[in-house]
A and B are shown apart, each in its own frame.
Chain A
Amino acid sequence: MDKAALHRMEIKAAPLLERFPFPFQADSYRYSNNSRALVPPVCTDLTPEYFEEIGGKRKLLERYPERTFQAFPHTVEAQWEIMAMLMNELAAVHSDYFKLDKQGVQWTFYNRLLDEKSTFVFGDLSTLPYEPLDFIGRHVQEDLIYLQQRDGDLYMDAGQLCFPANWSLAFDLGMTYLQFHSPVPIYSDSGLAEKVRGFLLRMEAGKPWTRLNWTLNVGPRLDTSPEAFGEWGVGRFGLNLENVGEIMHLRAEDQRLFQIPGSNGVLFSIHTHLLPFDQLINNKTWADRFCKVLEDLPDPIAEYKGFLSYKPLLIEYLKQHI
């Protein structure tokens, strides 16, 4: 029995269907700057899937370090700042599970969920087993991306990414906001990406924003990286009305954006939630709305999100169960 199972505390929460962040506000979906102020201004969100997701994350980090963590040397200060911000938050907001003791620069961080205690000197890399962003990322379910503002643009200069929706941190590292969004149809060529970039550049510390992004997932697998496409990409063959309810998942990304004032950058966290279709249909309002969204969705967006070829099947399934 692993240590985590022995000392496991439980994270109590409502059933998945009740707490799932349904990403559609209307019967139609288009790209927009759908950010709203994050209230309360908290980045981390703990769900009962914590142990499974942290376990999965840490396995990926050990096995595929180059894929899952990348950071330019000049981001070290920013990483410390982000780590401090998240540790302070975890200890304050989730005080049942986390504790942070500070004796000057000597910090001790307690994760009661995993029964882990880490002592280190804040600011001294040699006292941490991983770079600060990589370290704190191993304690939270969110993927953490750091966008540095430099010379008038935003650059993806550091990140820990274990559950990407088919994009590669190893490839995108160092790209500007417009560059890493260039594959997204409509968003990148309509002027919307520039508008959102302007919005991000003018974000203020203490006023975080949040938005929901979505796609569809074949199977319950969180790691849908391009690197592993050979493993998960084949799932879409062999879908039919009998199995689609169990296999297809609505994948929602709860994204939270925080301006990091010391380094003048933006922390962009992604918490991924999966809801299988056969559970989604238990909420008739959602099923109805989702069906309308799919029917109305322009082909380029469905294609980019990878489900254009079996969209009719999905709509048929939903219609059957509304």
Chain B
Amino acid sequence: MEEEIKCGILQGEVLLKSYYVINAEILEGRLSSPVGMVTDGIRINEFRITTPVSLVKLSTGFKEQIKLYVDLQLCSDDERRILANAKSGTILMQAPDLEVSLQGNKHLLFIGDSGVLQAFPAILALARSGGQVEVYSMHRMGKAALNALRSYVKRMDFPLRSIRGGGDRSIAHILEAQTVGTRIMAFCDWSDYSRIKHIARRIGYSNMEIQGIGIGEKDERVFCARCYQMQHKPHESEIICMQCGIPLVISNHYSPRLEAYMGYVNVN
């Protein structure tokens, strides 16, 4: 669990009421991708923040600068205090475990409630890189999150649209109208991300043209080797098949077609 990246804090401030943003410069280590997320948190001076941090790399001049974003609503009181006092010093963090590439000429961003924090760095990076961007808010976004997103996007002069009715057809309609060079970025919960991926693949986008950060619990499934019944994957590694009653051991073998993990019959 060694921290690979060391940054020097330049300044920090509250953004749109519920987010905190820190400007820092990279002192040691390097970021392979311009936009990413460190899900386990970061170390600010001697303190540790365990909430996820999203970041964007801004190469300006001699040293590379980055902007780090934290959702204050996910922080404990202690963590909020640490952030408020972080005007100088050192940040240590692991390399981002989730990364977003900025290749492509046009980007469509699909942003849900839970993904606003992760979307900010991408929006900023895309604004600076100068390509065409369209931002879509997923159906039924919370008011606060939607307002924050609206304010941020307005600064970048991108259009922010909502998806009519939120259904698959509306999403397909948007995706079908695009030309080659368009990339899809999703920052939302896993089920929405999965939906968008399916629709996009059906229309003809390759895997490389679709990326995103899925937030929250992933609803994963287990395939019973004996009766082929699909069922919810719990945290435990052993379950009883809900259809045939046989005990199963959940393996790591995943089928992208069935979207499930293999559950082998357990005879022990």
Task: Please measure, in the bound complex, the distance between the C-alpha atom of A171 and the C-alpha atom of B246, giving whole angstroms.
Answer: 18
Query: 0/1 per residue, B214-227, Cβ < 8 Å to A?
Result: 00000000010110
**A residues within 8 A CB of B228?**
66, 170
| Residue of chain A at shortest CB distance from B224 | A227
The yes or no answer to B262 lying at the interface (CB within 8 A) is: yes
**Which of A173-181, A238-246, A288-296 forms contacts with chain B?**
A173-181
Q: Is the CB of A230 within 8 A of B251?
A: no
State A229–B226 Cα separation when bound (angstroms). 8
Are the C-beta atoms of B265 and A172 separated by less than 8 Å? no
B256:A179 contact, CB within 8 angstroms: yes
Quote the shortest CB–CB distance from B224 to chain A (angstroms). 9
Among B226, B252, B256, B257, which residue has its beta carbon within 8 angstroms of that of A227? B226
B255 lies within 8 A of A175 (CB)? yes
The chain A residue sitting closest to B207, CB to CB, is A151
In the bound assembly, the distance between CA atoms of A230 and B245 in angstroms comes to 12
Partner of A230, one of B252, B256, B257, B265: B265
Nearest Cβ in chain B — how far from A178, in angstroms? 11
B203 proximal to A (CB < 8 A): no
B19 at the interface (CB under 8 A from A): no
Count of A interface residues, CB-CB < 8 Å: 18
22 pairs, CB–CB < 8 Å, chain A vs chain B:
A168-B262, A171-B223, A171-B255, A174-B256, A179-B255, A179-B256, A182-B252, A182-B254, A183-B252, A183-B253, A226-B225, A226-B262, A226-B265, A228-B226, A229-B226, A229-B265, A229-B267, A230-B246, A230-B265, A230-B267, A233-B267, A234-B267
Q: Which residues of B contact A (CB under 8 A)?
A: 223, 225-226, 228, 246, 251-258, 262, 264-265, 267
Complex partner residue of B257 from A66, A173, A229, A234, CB under 8 angstroms: A173
CB-CB < 8 A to B256: which residues of A?
A: 174-175, 179
* Residues of chain B lying within 8 A (CB to CB) of residue A170: 228
Closest to A173 in B: B257
Given the complex of chains A and B, what is the CA–CA distance between A226 and B251 in angstroms? 12
Q: Which residue of B lies closest to A229 (CB)?
A: B265
Say whether A172 contacts B264, CB under 8 Å: no
Bound state CA distance, A230 and B225, in angstroms? 10
Measured CA separation A66–B228 after assembly (Å):
10
**What chain B residues lie within 8 Å of A230 (beta carbons)?**
226, 246, 265, 267
CA distance A59 to B227 in the complex (A): 18
- Which residues of B are found within 8 Å of A173, using beta-carbon distances? 257
Top 5 A-B residue pairs of the complex, sorted by shortest distance between their CB atoms: A174-B257, A229-B265, A226-B225, A233-B267, A183-B253
Whether A171 lies near B265 (C-beta < 8 A) is no
Contact B262 A171, beta carbon cutoff 8 Å: yes
If A226-B264, A234-B267 touch, whether A172 touches B255 (CB-CB below 8 Å) is yes
Q: Are B225 and A171 in contact (CB under 8 A)?
A: yes
Instruction: Give the residues from 133 to 178 in chain A that come closer than 8 angstroms, CB to CB, to chain B.
Output: 168, 170-175
* Nearest residue, chain B, Cβ from A232: B267
In the complex, besides A171-B253, A179-B256, A228-B226, 7 extra interface pairs with C-beta distance below 8 angstroms are A171-B255, A175-B257, A183-B251, A226-B225, A227-B225, A229-B226, A234-B267
Residue of B at shortest CB range from A183?
B253
Contact: B255 with A229, CB < 8 Å?
Answer: no
Closest-CB distance, A109 to chain B (whole angstroms): 33
Which chain B residue shows the least CB distance to A236? B267
Specify the chain B residue showing the minimal Cβ separation from A235. Answer: B267
In-complex Cβ contact of B225 among A168, A182, A183 (8 A): A168
The B-contacting residues of A in range 268-311, CB under 8 angstroms, are: none
Kindly list chain B residues whose C-beta atoms are within 8 Å of the C-beta of A171. Answer: 223, 225, 253, 255, 258, 262
A102 to chain B, nearest CB (A): 37
Q: Which residue of B lies closest to A176 (CB)?
A: B256
Shortest CB-to-CB span from A309 to chain B, Å, is 11
A129 to B268, CA, bound (A): 42
Which chain B residue shows the least CB distance to A175?
B255
A residues less than 8 Å from B264 (CB atoms):
226, 229
Closest Cβ of chain A: how far from B244's Cβ, in Å? 10
* Interface residues as binary, A55-81 with B (CB distance below 8 Å gives 1, 0 otherwise): 000000000001000000000000000
A174 contacts which chain B residues (CB < 8 A)?
Answer: 255-257
Give A174's nearest chain B residue, CB to CB: B257
**In whole angstroms, what is the CA distance A233 to B244 when docked?**
17
Query: Least Cβ distance of B177 to chain A in Å?
Result: 24
Complex Cα spacing A171 to B254, Å: 9
Question: In the assembly, what is the distance between CA of A179 and CA of B252, in Å?
Answer: 11
CB neighbours (8 Å) of A66 from chain B are 228
Instruction: From known contacts A171-B262, A227-B226, A229-B225, infer whether A182 and B253 are also in contact, taking CB-CB under 8 Å.
Output: yes
Instruction: Output the nearest chain A residue to B258 by Cβ-Cβ distance.
Output: A171
A66 to B265, CA, bound (A): 18
A228 to B223, CA, bound (A): 15
Residues of A within 8 A of B257 (CB): 173-175
* Complexed CA–CA distance, A228 and B264 (Å): 10
Minimal Cβ-Cβ distance residue in A for B260: A171
